[in-house]
Amino acid sequence: MVAPRVRHQLDMVRALAITGDRVSFILEVDPARGKAMEPVRQAAEAAVGAVEGVASVSAVLTAHSATPSEPKEKGPPPELNFGKKKPAEPAEKRIPGIDSVIAIASGKGGVGKSTVAANLAIALTAQGKRVGLLDADVYGPNIPTMFGEGGRPRVTGAKGSERIEPLQRHGVRLMSLGFLLDKEQPAIMRGPLIAGILKQFLEQVEWGALDVLVVDMPPGTGDAQLSLVQTIDLDGAVMVTTPQDVSTGDVRRAIRMFERVNTRVLGVVENMAGYRCPHCGEDVAIFGHGGGERLAQEMDVPFLGRVPLDPEVSAAGDRGEPTALSAPDSPAGEALAAVAESLRETLEAAPARP
């Protein structure tokens, strides 16, 4: 893009993706000019849409500080106030048509959080719920793979009021940055860029009427988690952990983070909880035993259940047919259905939200 007055390259375009006749890209701007750049976003969409052969265009406008601010004068180090000062209250904002929004979170990566999120979405659908799944794990958007890819979302509506139609697979409405990026394209983003994408996915996607919107969070306690609780009013968070101490210790910190932003922890799921040898039938606690349940007791939050370690769970996700769909009668499938039922009962028992 070129600035019309000074005629120099703006270097605003990020994550350009072209698939057939569909084009998507991100415009990264200075936060001081964020609102003023909305006409630029619209003009960029119009310009690309006018190119012969282009059927649809999606441009996302996000902001970050292009240059660091001047350092302040040296003085005593700031007090961190861990555990002393309460952070800002979470946003009191509901998404029209969606009854409940729950985050699936973990303290660290590699514990099967996205696998649990995908299977819970399908299991809740099988139990009669209208379910959407938002992949907020922008650095590792795996939901498209777990649902068999599925193409790109369609953009509808007049210029300036565009809406994004989520894809639908296995009865679940889906949105992920992975649908907008090429398969091998990395997601290189600063915190404010993540916040902008999440805000647009929550507010501009045409989710329709849903009983539950499941949000697959990135691991840890960073920008995405804070952006989510500041953008909408969450009904709660489900924490996923393996039984081992290195996982439960990180989840303990994540639970404290949600408590500090006044978000209810709906419960803990212990994933990879033992492996049954197919030859001798012996149960082997590869990652230890009972760590998730002990954590739930220590933190005084519900224990939603444990899911056994099964190589087929991983293989089913790679095929785009999660276990809750492809093998609901397997030990892992039954465990995931039980976790979904516990979660559903918890949500139904909660007081009605405004």
pLDDT digits over 145-188, tens only?
999 977 888 888 777 778 889 999 999 999 998 887 766 655 55
Give how far Cα 15 sits from Cα of 48, 69, 97, 98, Å: 15, 26, 30, 29
| 210 and 153 co-located in one domain | yes
Residue 202 has pLDDT above 70, yes or no: yes
Range 337-349 average pLDDT = 91
| 229 and 318 co-located in one domain | yes
Domain for residue 86, yes or no? no
The pLDDT > 70 percentage for the chain reads 79
Which is more confidently placed, 340 or 291? 340
| 122 and 209 co-located in one domain | yes
pTM reported for the whole predicted model: 0.72
Range 246-273 average pLDDT = 90
Q: If pLDDT is split at 50, 70 and 90, which confidence band does 196 have? A: confident
Domain for residue 75, yes or no? no
| 38 and 165 co-located in one domain | no
What CATH number did the domain enclosing 343 receive?
A: 3.40.50.300
Domain for residue 89, yes or no? no
Considering only CA atoms, which of 347, 325, 138 is closest in space to residue 225?
A: 138
How far, in Å, CA of 152 to CA of 165, rounded? 9
| 135 and 221 co-located in one domain | yes
Quote the domain boundaries for residue 24. Answer: 13-63
| 42 and 176 co-located in one domain | no
Query: Among the listed ranges 56-65, 304-313, 333-342, which one has the minimum average pLDDT value?
Result: 56-65
| 148 and 279 co-located in one domain | yes
DSSP, collapsed to helix, strand or coil, labels residue 15 as: strand
**Helical axes 113-126 vs 331-349, angle rounded to 10°:** 70
For residue 135, the model assigns a pLDDT of: 92
User: For the segment 29-80, what is each residue's pLDDT rounded down to a tens digit?
Assistant: 766 665 677 788 788 888 888 888 888 777 776 654 444 444 444 444 444 4
| 188 and 113 co-located in one domain | yes
Token readout for 299 is 């933190």
| 57 and 105 co-located in one domain | no
| 328 and 234 co-located in one domain | yes
Domain count of the fold of the chain: 2
Range 101-106 average pLDDT = 93
